[in-house]
Structure 1
Amino acid sequence: MLEKTPAPQPETGWRALLSGGNAVHSLILSGGVALHALNIYVVTTIMPSIVREIGGLEYYAWSTTVFVAASILGAALSARLLGIAGAGGAYAIGALVFGLGTLACAVAPSMAVLLAGRAIQGFGGGLLYALAYGVIRQVFRPELWTRAIGLISATWGTATLIGPAVGGMFAEFADWRAAFWSLLPLTALLAALAFSTLPRKATGEEGRTPLPLLQLLLLVGIVLALSIASTLKTTIEQLGCVGGALLMFLVLLLVERRGTGKLLPSGSFTPASPLAALYATITLLMIGLQPEIYVPYLLQELHDLSPLLAGYIAALMSIGWTAGSMTSAHWHGERAKRTIFAGPAFGFVGLALIAVFMPMMAADFLVIAAPLCFGIIAVGFGMGFAWPHIVTAVYEFAADGEAEKASSSITTVQLFAAALGAALAGLTANLAGIETPTQEGVATATSWLFWLFALMPALAILTAGRVWRARRKTA
């Protein structure tokens, strides 16, 4: 009797993700994320050139604020668009919106037009970024999901490293408009590839529930209130804005619990739910990353480094994020589950090292460079290390019929937490006295900033423990 030859097992390595039809899908998903991320960091670099030509210095920070706020809206609405237009149609629409915003920025004669273009760009970029997580489930086998998420995460980290260099090149040649024009061919290529290769069948999963418009407005309101707070001068005004943000958050919780249209999947605001623990972990980790915005300034102010060198050292966080994602993305089983603990631990150690060594003005920088750089890398590495498996866990715990909502919610929570963390970092730094005219005062503020934000990944270790216990119960 002849023994049956076992059926060949499908390949699950990087080669399977980056070859054949999967390669095109990987290019589209990572390309949409790259456009969104590159745009953020290119524009951050060219903004000084923009305000020199068209004015509007008083609205300098709003270029980022309106972009992120609109990105939150786009991310939250991506599941509805995916259910109506299918993957191919949704990507094409997202790219079209992003392209229209980019065109408006390229021809902007004033800051008002530029800000309108940035809002349109942000909405399209938020769609593209969130769609990547939703489409992963449609075009890849489950055993490739963590690698695909790792690729997206690595793309984001790489874009944050390349973006300032690209923006600097256009600023060097005094042609900031060309930075926007250069994005349009890439956007058109992405739209064409997505529409011709991704599934265009609409799932209709989200079609039966009302849009969570009030929750979205509250999310944007919280971000704007905290952003305004970080620019105000008096403590009373700052605390007033923070109080307003807290009030809006409480209203958001109430509306989300009682409303028929939900922003997040079922159970996301139930304390005992594993989804609530996962979203809390994402939020805490993203907030913990945000003091990064002060690293270049502090390296120049406290250690007299050149802007170029300070910028490259700050970019180590992005390199760490990419390295972390590529390290753990192919892990499975118990080892993969432990990354949700290990990632926050890396983040805590990294922020603690920065808090200790960044304020050391008297020391020769060469003496503190190694532990300081290791700390910066560790913060990014921890986020990238845990991210693919946090996202996979969200897929795992989402209720039946809410897969697309769960996918879009990842980006909504991530972008909201990043904007929230950036606003809180600015508020904390200002209250701690980072604008003091003495280096000693700046050093003290630096210590307060990084030690306080080190609490975020420390708390994330606790929320990750709740996820671990929930997984053991369902195993």
Structure 2
Amino acid sequence: MPVADTTRTTDQPAAVQPGTAAWSDLLRGANGVLALALTGGVALYAVNVHVVSTVLPSVVQDIGGLDFYAWNTTLFEVASIIGAALSVRVLAALGPRGAYLAALVIFALGSAMCAAATAMPWMLAGRSVQGLGGGTIGALSYALIRVVFAPPLWPRAVALVSGMWGVATLCGPALGGLFAEAGHWRWAFWTLLPLCVLQALLVATRLKPHAKAPPADSAARIPGPQIALLASSVMAIAAGSLSTSLVWQAVGIAAGLMLGAAAIAWERRTTVRLLPKGATALGTALGAVYASVALLLVGTTTEIFVPYFLQTLHGHTPLAAGYLAAAMAGGWSLGSLLSSGHEGRGVARLLHAGPALSTLSLLILSILMPLGAELPVGMRTLLCGLALAGVGAGVGLCWPHLLTRVLTLAPPGEGGTASAAITTVQLYGMATGAAVAGLIANAAGLLSPGGVAGAQSASAWLFASFAVAPALVVLLTRRIIKARV
């Protein structure tokens, strides 16, 4: 059934007959313009991710801070968690247009701070501001899918939003790599500002402020304690990565796990919730879906070190390393777009095969990435690119169907909370993964002994250990498949 007219907050999209979900229904007429308004923000967010991953080796060479390398992603994702968690409340207060424009302004401010950074603390502050705006943009894009499109179009819309990472694989590495090779990495951030202006113009003309009260779940109070505990759990793990002592590293991990458990315990007993009912219990289908989303994203955060490994171990230029690293996102987009039209048993097979492919690809990378002259350069590059694409493709094969299940399994009256929580859980997985990745890489020798030997050890340990995350998803898919949607 189409979404009720009382929730419409934009120009009326074209009608879709029950049971139909062709790409033409989504991309033509008013639906197509609305899809562009929603996906443009995600494309901007994704381009930024690839810009930063490409220029970061050049950044640390210029302003220092190799020991805080992973913190650029950790703080960005922690701030994104906060932005995503606040998105439903901001949407209720400002409406679609106001909320989206406010997020774009914050994102642009953070980009300007990064461009002007002269030391790593300044850069980290800018990345935090960027994350706050970016997390809000990402969550709004998913939350507005259920508002502006009819249910038969949801899988296609989710796939299209996810597919914007494919656009980023073309633009982000080029933008970052070209400026990095020219010695002007700051301009990679400055060029994000006109893109923000263009997206703001599109949003201002196509999204309208709502005239009626938001749904009840959108008007709920902010779940501050849960957000603080989740952010603190990530920061505790990240703090452990700064020490070379195994004892303090273990303390950081233990503290992070305890704070994460405290967030779940608080969520279960409070009336002001961050997630919909049942989302914190692995025994429920909804809980298994959210856990799978987080674990799949943990596996992909190995990408943050890929440009550094490729430049240090394989001698690639920033541009080439950026494009190879983007193969992971490209595989995700391709897998998502190809799998979105499957139904029934086809979906069940994809939910099993996707995580298995990601697991296998990460294990292969743990062998390939440390190799030096043992393989010809061309062969090594090809195999690494295929393995990186395999990690992303594994996520993409099951991604539209996992997210669609969030929308269909959400308890009555909690659709907005459930859809916004997609981004919150996704970002928590990425933030936790980035923090753990920094800890493992540093402990495995990235800083000491450092250089080629340290990078070889760090890459082997990083990819092998992170293969555990998608492997756990394989165990969760049975409960998800059995659920009635």
How far off its partner does 1:49 sit? 6.1
Residues 109 and 147 (structure 1 numbering): CA distance in 2 closer, same or farther, change over 3 Å? same
How far off its partner does 1:270 sit? 1.9
Moved more, 432-441 or 379-388: 432-441
Is residue 196 from structure 1 mapped to residue 196 from structure 2 by the alignment?
no
Is residue 330 from structure 1 mapped to residue 341 from structure 2 by the alignment?
yes
How far off its partner does 1:390 sit? 0.8
Contact 2:50–2:326 (CA under 8 A) maintained in structure 1? no
Residues of 2 paired with 1:437 and 1:185: CA distance? 38
Query: Counterpart in 2 of 1:90?
Result: 99
Contact 2:302–2:466 (CA under 8 A) maintained in structure 1? yes
Contact 1:352–1:450 (CA under 8 A) maintained in structure 2? yes
Number of aligned residue pairs? 466
Query: Counterpart in 2 of 1:291?
Result: 302
How far off its partner does 1:163 sit? 1.4
Q: Which residues of 2 match residues 215-294 of structure 1 at below 5 A?
A: 215-294=226-305
The partner residue of 1:386 within 392, 398, 411 is 398
- Cα displacement string for residues 270-302 of structure 1 (whole angstroms, at most 9, x for unaligned residues): 231111100111111111122233334444555
Amino acid at match of 2:214: T
Query: Counterpart in 2 of 1:421?
Result: 433
Residues of 1 paired with 2:150 and 2:389: CA distance? 32
2:75 match: secondary structure: helix
Amino acid at match of 1:470: A
Query: Counterpart in 2 of 1:401?
Result: 413
Residues 287 and 401 (structure 1 numbering): CA distance in 2 closer, same or farther, change over 3 Å? same
Moved more, 396-405 or 93-102: 93-102
How far off its partner does 1:261 sit? 1.2
Contact 1:356–1:447 (CA under 8 A) maintained in structure 2? yes
Is residue 79 from structure 1 mapped to residue 88 from structure 2 by the alignment?
yes
Moved more, 216-225 or 52-61: 52-61
Residues 260 and 443 (structure 1 numbering): CA distance in 2 closer, same or farther, change over 3 Å? same
Residues of 1 paired with 2:106 and 2:331: CA distance? 32
Residues 8 and 388 (structure 1 numbering): CA distance in 2 closer, same or farther, change over 3 Å? closer
Greater Rg over alpha carbons, structure = 1
- Cα displacement string for residues 131-151 of structure 1 (whole angstroms, at most 9, x for unaligned residues): 111101111121211111111
Query: Counterpart in 2 of 1:3?
Result: none
- Cα displacement string for residues 126-176 of structure 1 (whole angstroms, at most 9, x for unaligned residues): 110111111011111212111111111111243145213202333445555
Q: Which residues of 2 match residues 176-187 of structure 1 at below 5 A?
A: 176-187=185-196
Q: TM-score, normalised by structure 2?
A: 0.86
Residues of 2 paired with 1:376 and 1:47: CA distance? 19
Moved more, 58-67 or 399-408: 58-67
Residues of 2 paired with 1:312 and 1:27: CA distance? 25
- Cα displacement string for residues 363-422 of structure 1 (whole angstroms, at most 9, x for unaligned residues): 323555555443222111011111111110100111011111111111111111111112
Contact 1:209–1:260 (CA under 8 A) maintained in structure 2? no
Is residue 457 from structure 1 mapped to residue 470 from structure 2 by the alignment?
yes
Residues 63 and 295 (structure 1 numbering): CA distance in 2 closer, same or farther, change over 3 Å? closer
Is residue 129 from structure 1 mapped to residue 141 from structure 2 by the alignment?
no
Residues of 2 paired with 1:356 and 1:173: CA distance? 32
Amino acid at match of 1:154: G
The partner residue of 2:361 within 340, 343, 350 is 350
Residues 120 and 367 (structure 1 numbering): CA distance in 2 closer, same or farther, change over 3 Å? closer
Residues 8 and 109 (structure 1 numbering): CA distance in 2 closer, same or farther, change over 3 Å? closer
1:219 match: secondary structure: helix
Moved more, 403-412 or 16-25: 16-25
Q: CA RMSD in A?
A: 3.0
How far off its partner does 1:428 sit? 2.3
Contact 1:219–1:416 (CA under 8 A) maintained in structure 2? yes
- Cα displacement string for residues 399-458 of structure 1 (whole angstroms, at most 9, x for unaligned residues): 011111111111111111111112212222333445546967765654443332222212
Residues of 2 paired with 1:106 and 1:310: CA distance? 21
Contact 1:92–1:192 (CA under 8 A) maintained in structure 2? no
- Cα displacement string for residues 60-93 of structure 1 (whole angstroms, at most 9, x for unaligned residues): 6544333222111001111112223332232122
Query: Counterpart in 2 of 1:13?
Result: 22
Query: Counterpart in 2 of 1:4?
Result: none
Same amino acid, percent of matched pairs = 44
How far off its partner does 1:186 sit? 2.6
Query: Counterpart in 1 of 2:33?
Result: 24
Residues of 2 paired with 1:306 and 1:186: CA distance? 26
Contact 2:51–2:172 (CA under 8 A) maintained in structure 1? yes
The partner residue of 1:119 within 122, 125, 128 is 128
Q: Where does the alignment leave 5 or more consecutive residues of structure 1 unmatched?
A: 1-6
